[in-house]
Amino acid sequence: MTILYIMIPVAIILASFFVYIFLWAVKNEQFDDLETPAHKILIDDWKRKS
């Protein structure tokens, strides 16, 4: 039972940290373009030597 006095505040602090990081990522537009990085891997940008 005494472990709950430690685990509940730790869980609240961790949850608050992850919410803060998520809100920071949304504010800095990290989730705006989800399609382009997936398509960039398909494009061959290398210049071929002939």
SS3 44: coil
pTM here is: 0.62
In the chain, what are the domain boundaries?
1-27
* 22 pLDDT above the threshold of 60: yes
Three-state SS sequence of the chain: CHHHHHHHHHHHHHHHHHHHHHHHHHHCCCCCCCCHHHHHCCCCCCCCCC
Confidence of residue 49 (pLDDT cuts 50, 70, 90): low
Greater confidence (32 vs 3) lies with 3
- Percentage of residues of the chain with pLDDT beyond 90: 54
- Provide mean pLDDT across the span 24-32: 89
